[in-house]
Structures are given as structure tokens and as C-alpha cells.
């Protein structure tokens, strides 16, 4: 198979015959990586932005989906291509086979991390909005996306505020024991320690959805994500 070129003494290139590198990845054997001539940088140039993942983590009711939607709208209106991966929504399809026990939450985050990586490779600003309660699972996604392409946003709101909002009535059900293993009630949430962005209350008030989106937008502008 001809898949590499060798530089000859006169500077011309001639094909080198070499055995292809075949490897085992997970449970897949005898597989090869296939490169495409159009790569991430060409797609980024087309879109005028850097592909990245904005990973929003926090308790249920902390405003993850609200921020994801507000940010997506702001970016869209200023000519940037985004896509929102929302935990609740993905559990309707891709992740419908997963429960909320720790190993299923880990698999949920792993899958969404891999999907988000594809979106970033496509040059898209991917906004992932999931509770993602375990630090180890979030950090594994960060490793998947080197070159600062993983931007963690921590919704640092107190449980009492999230519980008071309770838009789906799930905290009420968890408190009465009708939902077991609910994050923040009888299941853990490990707060991030190295988030790029933290959204928190100021003088007892939560910033408005527009203000939260502006906060992230400023970070993207200042760090060069909104140009190729
Ligand atoms: N046991 C339990 N714990 C937490 N959340 C629960 C649970 N059961 C159902 N829900 C609803 O599922 C939404 C969270 O899904 P995620 O995929 O983001 O969760 S996780 O990242 O795998 O922990 C979450 O959505 P948000 O409120 O938008 O966070 C809940 O509506
Ligand atoms: N910045 C905010 N200020 C006031 N209310 C908010 C804000 N962000 C979210 N909310 C409200 O809080 C509730 C939970 O928000 P949501 O985005 O669904 O949270 P999550 O996705 O983290 O579960 C919703 O009723 C939403 O309208």
C-alpha cells in the first residue's frame, strides 16, 4: 500500500511501499485511521472561528440549558455556527440506554465528549450542557480536546437556589424519596476546581441569561475563538 512519500536526493518525492499500521482500539481489531484531505483548519477558515467545546456543568436547575440557549443565540446572531448538546435531550436518543447510576453517568459523559470532539473537529462551537457530576469524567473530556479546545463553565449556584427553582418538580420528588440518586440530594456533585469560567451569584442575585452569555462570549473573543 502506498501511503507515504520519500524525499529523493534531487528533491523529488517518490512513494514508499510500507506495511500499513494496523492496530487494536478497545474491542475493534485490525483498524486503520483514514485521513481526509480537508482538515479542521480548512473548515475553521471557511467558518471564521475555532472549533471548540464549551462544557457547562452544574446542578439540575442551575441554568445550564438557559445559558446554552442564550449563548447559542448570541453567537448565531453574530454569524457563528454553534450546536447545543443537552444532557436531557441526548437521553432521548443516543443515551437512552443509560440510567443515572455512576457508571452510566460516566458512559454518558464519555459519549458526549466524543461527539463534542467531532463537532469541534468540524469547526463548530459546540455547547455541551450536562450535570456531569464527576470530576474524573469531565477531565477525561478535557484530555480528548487538547490545544485549549475544552472550555469548562461551572454554574456555581447554591443547591438552595436550584431547589427553589425546581422547574420540573424533580427536587420535590427526590426529597420525598420518589426519585433515588438525585444529584445534590442523595447523589454527589463534585465541583470543578479548574474551570475557565465560573458563573456565580453577585450580591445575592443570579446574573441574567443575557449577562451569563455575555460573560462566555467575552472569554471567547478575548481568547481568539471567534476567528479562524
Ligand atoms: N437522578 C437524577 N439525577 C440528576 N438528574 C436527573 C436524575 N433523574 C432525572 N434527571 C434529569 O436528567 C437530567 C440530567 O441529565 P444529564 O445527562 O445531564 O446527567 S449526567 O450528566 O449524566 O449526570 C436533569 O436535567 P437538568 O435539570 O437539565 O440538569 C434532570 O432533569
Ligand atoms: N440566570 C437566570 N436567572 C433567573 N432564572 C434562571 C436563570 N437561569 C435559569 N433560570 C431558570 O431556572 C430554571 C432552571 O434553568 P435550566 O436552564 O433549565 O437549568 P438546568 O439546565 O441546569 O437544569 C428555569 O426555570 C430557568 O428559567
- What CATH number corresponds to the domain at position 53? 3.40.50.300
pLDDT value, residue 21: 74
Residue 23 is assigned to a structural domain of this protein? no
**Nearest atom (ligand 2) to Cα of 88:** 21
pLDDT value, residue 46: 98
108 lines ligand 2 (CB under 6 A): no
How many domains does the chain divide into? 1
Tell me the average pLDDT across 20-31. Answer: 88
**Residue 22: which pLDDT band, with cuts at 50, 70 and 90?**
confident
**Residue 165: which pLDDT band, with cuts at 50, 70 and 90?**
very high
Main-chain dihedrals φ then ψ at residue 10, nearest 5 degrees: -85, 10
Residue 6 is assigned to a structural domain of this protein? no
The ipTM of this complex is 0.99
Please identify every residue annotated as catalytic. Answer: 132
What residues make up the domain containing 188? 41-222
pLDDT at 1 over 60: no
Between CA 99 and CA 179 the distance in angstroms is: 12
Largest CA distance in the chain: 79
Q: Over pLDDT 90: what percentage of the chain? A: 90
pLDDT value, residue 3: 38
User: Is residue 137 classed exposed, middle or buried when 0-12, 13-18 and 19+ CB atoms within 10 A define those classes?
Assistant: buried
Tell me the average pLDDT across 56-68. Answer: 98
Residue 109 is assigned to a structural domain of this protein? yes
State the cell numbers at 57: 456543568
Residue 84 is assigned to a structural domain of this protein? yes
pLDDT value, residue 105: 98
Tell me the average pLDDT across 205-224. Answer: 98
Query: Which of 69, 90, 131 has most ligand 1 atoms within 8 Å of its beta carbon, as the pocket-test mutant?
Result: 131
Q: Over pLDDT 70: what percentage of the chain? A: 91
Residue 15 is assigned to a structural domain of this protein? no
Tell me the average pLDDT across 73-88. Answer: 98
Which H helix or E strand runs over 164?
helix 159-165
Between CA 181 and CA 174 the distance in angstroms is: 8
Amino acid at each position: 500500500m502506498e501511503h507515504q512519500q520519500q524525499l529523493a536526493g534531487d528533491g523529488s518525492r517518490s512513494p514508499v511501499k510500507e506495511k500499513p499500521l494496523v492496530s487494536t482500539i478497545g474491542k475493534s481489531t485490525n483498524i486503520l485511521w483514514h485521513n481526509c484531505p480537508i482538515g479542521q483548519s480548512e473548515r475553521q477558515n471557511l467558518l471564521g472561528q475555532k472549533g471548540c467545546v464549551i462544557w457547562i456543568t452544574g446542578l439540575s436547575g442551575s441554568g445550564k440549558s438557559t445559558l446554552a440557549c442564550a449563548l447559542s443565540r448570541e453567537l448565531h446572531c453574530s454569524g457563528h455556527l454553534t450546536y447545543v448538546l443537552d444532557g436531557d435531550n441526548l437521553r432521548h436518543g443516543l443515551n437512552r440506554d443509560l440510567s443515572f447510576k455512576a457508571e452510566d453517568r460516566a458512559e454518558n459523559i464519555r459519549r458526549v465528549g466524543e461527539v463534542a470532539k467531532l463537532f469541534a473537529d468540524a469547526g463548530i462551537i459546540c455547547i455541551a450542557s450536562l450535570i456531569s457530576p464527576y470530576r474524573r469524567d469531565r477531565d477525561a473530556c478535557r484530555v480528548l480536546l487538547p490545544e485549549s479546545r475544552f472550555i469548562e463553565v461551572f454554574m456555581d449556584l447554591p443547591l438552595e437556589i436550584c431547589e427553589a427553582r425546581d422547574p420540573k418538580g424533580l427536587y420535590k420528588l427526590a426529597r420525598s424519596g420518589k426519585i433515588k440518586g438525585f444529584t445534590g440530594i442523595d447523589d454527589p456533585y463534585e465541583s470543578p476546581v479548574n474551570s475557565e469560567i465560573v458563573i456565580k451569584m453577585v450580591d445575592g442575585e443570579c446574573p441574567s441569561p443575557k449577562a451569563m452569555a455575555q460573560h462566555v462570549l467575552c472569554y471567547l473573543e478575548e481568547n481568539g475563538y471567534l476567528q479562524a
